[in-house]
Amino acid sequence: MKNKLSRYTFYLILMLALILPINSSPSLPTAYAATLTVNDTGDGADAVPGDGVCETAPGNSTCTLRAAIMEANALPGADTINLGSNTYTLNVGGAGDDSAATGDLDIISTGGNITIVGAGPGATIIDNTTNDRVFHIIGANVEFRDLTIQGGNINPGSGGGIYNQVGSVTLRNTVVRDNSASLNGGGIFNQFGTVNILENSQIGAAGFPNTAQRGGGIYTQYSSAQGTNVVNIDSSTVAANTASATPDGGGGIYAVDDGDLTITDSTISSNQATNGAGGGIFARNTVATPATSFTMTDTTVSNNSSASGGAGIHLQDIDSPAISGGAITGNTSSGGTGGLHVEAALNNNSISLSVTGTTIDGNTGAASGAGGVANLVTGTNSDSELILTSAVVDGNTAPLVGGVYNGTNGTLTLQTTTISNNDGTGASSNGGVFNDSGTANVTDTTISGNTATFGGGGIHSNGGTLTVTTSTINGNSVSGGGAIGGGGIAITGGTADIINSTVSGNTTTASGGGIYNDTGDIAIDSATVAFNQANSGNGGGIFNTADAGSTIDFGNTILSNNTAATGPDCANTAPGTLVSLDYNIIQDETACTITGTTTNNQNVDPQLDPLGSNGGPTDTHRLQPTSAAIDQGNCPALANDQRGLTRPVDIGTITDGPAGFCDIGAYEVQSLTDALIGDFVGDDTDGDGNQDPGESGIAGVTVNLLDPSDTLLDTTTTLADGSYSFTVANGTYRIQFVLPGGYVFSPQDQGGDDT
């Protein structure tokens, strides 16, 4: 029995030996979230990647940043690496190694999402001392928080700080500074991936720039074989970076071909393109499709510099870029445009840029560019459209034109925009706007206080097409000894239409205080040209040169209170023609030599009030109650005056003129005894209760007029620029606003809040 038992026992043991290896075989790895805490500032590699233990040798418990990354790469789950308040120095050289064991810190896709967290960018610093970049992201999702990445130096190569290759990188409160690349992307090189720069992150810093040939701070590029690039910058800064390439550059940011560049509530400042364009931002497409998209919102682009192109922003062949809010200020180009440069350089390509509610001020350009904004077409069969809406272009300077340049085949649209105090400094300079054989449309816009030394203190249109509608050109000047003139507007070829507009208080040392025409074809309808000066020349209001191609047609227009050495209100020299379309007031016809229909013209003082705010988006000259212009004009094609108020309006106590009861000039009197009350409803973006420059109006807001007992008397809606008005008899009234969805009333400032 004993032997049998032993044999039976042996049999069981043998069977267990055969069964156990099957049942206890190792299972497949399970994805789990690991937290790895770095406790050593050295640069040792992980002993056994994937064993779940961060240590540089078995059992030593020494966890370096490199070891933690190697361990996280080998673990399939999401991992967090925690860093303390220290400088973590990378000093293990190596090349061509994507395991992170040597050289740069490679983070690969097999490791799942990885988050590296520091104690703050001033406390936690990852500092590379080798000839390599700091991080190489290969198809992985990585987030950096509260730390600094510096000292990357890749030569040859791109991406000194971070090279993102088909991955997704997010920076939160992280600084990338003092990195360099011999090619592109000194701070960050994004290739076929996504980069999110968020929450007070900073790319570059004063004294610690990122440098590269292109994209000193950030370079992002596309390849159709891999997919699009995405770069999002929100509430962050790109500053003090340098790019050295010619002719492009992109000191702060360089974006090329298909991808999305979105910048929100951020600052792009003090970057340099030392030999090229785009000190702050350079974005371009090398082919018409696929196309890079560019959107910038509530962002300041300031104090950047370039050797050519746009110092602040250079956009080239970008399909439908958009800029809203924010400011482009204090940028300087030694060979191009100071603020914003837009260009269609590819053949057979059309681009359109919309700029809304942005202030472009204090920029400086060179002889080949503009101080504020330039819109160019250099490609064959191409066109570039630039639309400025509720924008401010102020205090910019350049030898060619202080404010805005619109080149051949370009289209410039100004809507409810202010072009002011810009200075053309060169011998052949222009002040506010220079339309150089392009198409320029000016609507509900004020062009004031600009200066030039050659021609067109306000606007110079050299060929091409100019249309000025419901706008005011005032207080501009031309002062050069060799000036042609045109304190307000100078036309040298092409066509110009001036409709329902005011040209007032402009001066020149030459001829044409208000309007100068040489070989152009100008049509003026229902305008007021008054109080302009040609101090030592001819035609205080209008001057038309002795050229057979110089033609000015004008009807229902006021020319008054202008001064000049000869021809105070107008001067014309044959064979140039100054053609009356009738129903004009010309206070002083001396030297005008007018042809056309003059039957209902008047040579009287129209009794204009000073230029002021009388409703609508622009200042106007109000007609005094005894003005000879009231009800004596002819404006069959116009339904509104310059302010947007109804015309014609019949004043019953005044005998109508032969053509009805339209008023002559840009202003239509609504009532001899009634007053006009109104104001502006705007988007108070900073919530201070003030209407600040660049804050746009809100269209379509319902405004109610109430009597003291809150009885509704009238209702209107705000115009495109946010303005509204009521014509009322003398009395006391309340204005009530119907709050549109998504808005709240701003705090009380100079007036009481709506109740």
pLDDT in tens, 165-183: 999 999 999 999 999 999 9
Alpha helices, H only, 25-78: 65-74
- Return all residues near 102 (Cβ < 8 A) that are at least 6 apart: 45, 92, 93, 94
Which residue has better confidence, 672 or 179?
179
CA dihedral 654, 656, 660, 665 (to 10 degrees): -60
pLDDT in tens, 375-387: 999 999 999 999 9
Q: Does the pLDDT of residue 226 top 80, yes or no?
A: no
Give the pLDDT of residue 96.
75
Domain span at residue 612? 464-469+479-672
- On whether both 663 and 688 belong to a single domain, the answer is no
User: Token digits for 452?
Assistant: 């030039």
Cβ density class 139-166: b for 16+ within 10 Å, e for less: ebbbbbbbbbbbbbbbeebbbbbbbbbb
**In the listed set 656, 672, 688, which residue is the last one of a domain according to the structure?**
672
Residue showing tokens 């970008």: 318
Residue showing tokens 């026992």: 9
Rounded Cα distance between 267 and 233, Å, is 10
Q: Left, alpha or beta for 68 (phi > 0: left; psi -120 to 50: alpha)? A: alpha
Q: Is residue 156 part of a domain?
A: no
Give the mean model confidence (pLDDT) for residues 135-148: 97
- On whether both 613 and 487 belong to a single domain, the answer is yes
Q: Is residue 686 part of a domain?
A: yes
The torsion angles phi and psi of 14, rounded to 5 degrees, stand at: -65, -45
**In the listed set 652, 672, 692, which residue is the last one of a domain according to the structure?**
672
- Which letter does DSSP use for residue 660 in this model? B
- On whether both 569 and 511 belong to a single domain, the answer is yes
Whole-model pTM? 0.87
Asked if the peptide bond before residue 76 counts as cis, ω within 30 degrees of 0, the response is: no
Band of the pLDDT at 257, cuts 50, 70, 90? confident
Contact 670, 631 (CB under 8 A): no
User: Token digits for 102?
Assistant: 């040597």
- On whether both 623 and 727 belong to a single domain, the answer is no
Q: What are the beta bridge partners of residue 468?
A: 442, 498
- With 0-12 / 13-18 / 19 or more C-beta atoms within 10 angstroms meaning exposed / middle / buried, residue 485 is buried
What SS3 string covers 527-587?
CEEECCEEEEEECCCEEECCCCCCEEEEECCEEECCEEEECCCEEECCCCEEEEECCCEEC
- On whether both 591 and 697 belong to a single domain, the answer is no
Contact 632, 601 (CB under 8 A): no
Q: Does the pLDDT of residue 728 top 90, yes or no?
A: no
Average pLDDT, the chain: 91
Rounded Cα distance between 387 and 193, Å, is 31
Band of the pLDDT at 483, cuts 50, 70, 90? confident
Residue showing tokens 């260009």: 343
- Return all residues near 231 (Cβ < 8 A) that are at least 6 apart: 190, 194, 195, 197, 218, 220, 253, 255, 259, 260, 261, 262
Band of the pLDDT at 482, cuts 50, 70, 90? confident
The SS3 call for residue 545 is coil
Q: Is residue 96 part of a domain?
A: no
- On whether both 637 and 555 belong to a single domain, the answer is yes
**In the listed set 672, 699, 728, which residue is the last one of a domain according to the structure?**
672
Q: Does the pLDDT of residue 290 top 60, yes or no?
A: no
Give the pLDDT of residue 28.
37
pLDDT in tens, 227-243: 568 999 999 999 999 99
User: Token digits for 247?
Assistant: 């002719």
- Among candidate residues 254, 292, 296, the one with its CA nearest the CA of residue 272: 254
Q: Does the pLDDT of residue 754 top 60, yes or no?
A: no
- On whether both 562 and 600 belong to a single domain, the answer is yes
Q: Is residue 697 part of a domain?
A: yes
Give the mean model confidence (pLDDT) for residues 251-277: 95
- Among candidate residues 692, 664, 528, 647, the one with its CA nearest the CA of residue 584: 664
Q: Is residue 95 part of a domain?
A: no
Q: Rg of the chain's alpha carbons, rounded to an integer? A: 34
Give the mean model confidence (pLDDT) for residues 258-275: 95
Band of the pLDDT at 18, cuts 50, 70, 90? very low
- On whether both 495 and 634 belong to a single domain, the answer is yes
User: Token digits for 413?
Assistant: 């649209």
Contact 444, 472 (CB under 8 A): no
Give the mean model confidence (pLDDT) for residues 204-226: 87
pLDDT in tens, 629-663: 999 999 999 999 999 999 999 999 999 999 999 99
Write the DSSP string, 449-472: S-EESSB-SSEEEESSEEEEES-E
Give the pLDDT of residue 227.
58
Q: Is residue 530 part of a domain?
A: yes
Q: What are the beta bridge partners of residue 211?
A: 180, 242
- Return all residues near 687 (Cβ < 8 A) that are at least 6 apart: 746, 747
Cα 470 from chain centroid (whole Å): 24
Q: Does the pLDDT of residue 734 top 90, yes or no?
A: no
Give the pLDDT of residue 15.
31
Instruction: Find the range with the poorest average confidence among 6-20, 275-289, 532-546, 607-621.
Output: 6-20
pLDDT in tens, 680-711: 788 888 887 777 777 888 988 999 988 787 87
- On whether both 646 and 709 belong to a single domain, the answer is no
- On whether both 620 and 491 belong to a single domain, the answer is yes
User: Token digits for 13?
Assistant: 């043991």
Q: Does the pLDDT of residue 625 top 80, yes or no?
A: yes
Asked if the peptide bond before residue 568 counts as cis, ω within 30 degrees of 0, the response is: no
Give the pLDDT of residue 203.
99
Work out how many domains the chain is built from and give that number.
2
Give the mean model confidence (pLDDT) for residues 446-451: 98
Give the mean model confidence (pLDDT) for residues 150-165: 96
Rounded Cα distance between 355 and 323, Å, is 5
- Among candidate residues 320, 414, 429, 449, the one with its CA nearest the CA of residue 370: 429
Rounded Cα distance between 609 and 473, Å, is 17
The CATH number linked to 696 is 2.60.40.10
The SS3 call for residue 294 is strand
Q: Is residue 125 part of a domain?
A: no
CA dihedral 10, 16, 18, 24 (to 10 degrees): -160
- On whether both 625 and 698 belong to a single domain, the answer is no
Give the pLDDT of residue 692.
77
- On whether both 512 and 644 belong to a single domain, the answer is yes
Q: Is residue 649 part of a domain?
A: yes
Rounded Cα distance between 186 and 727, Å, is 61
Residue 8, H or E segment: helix 2-23
Give the pLDDT of residue 676.
67
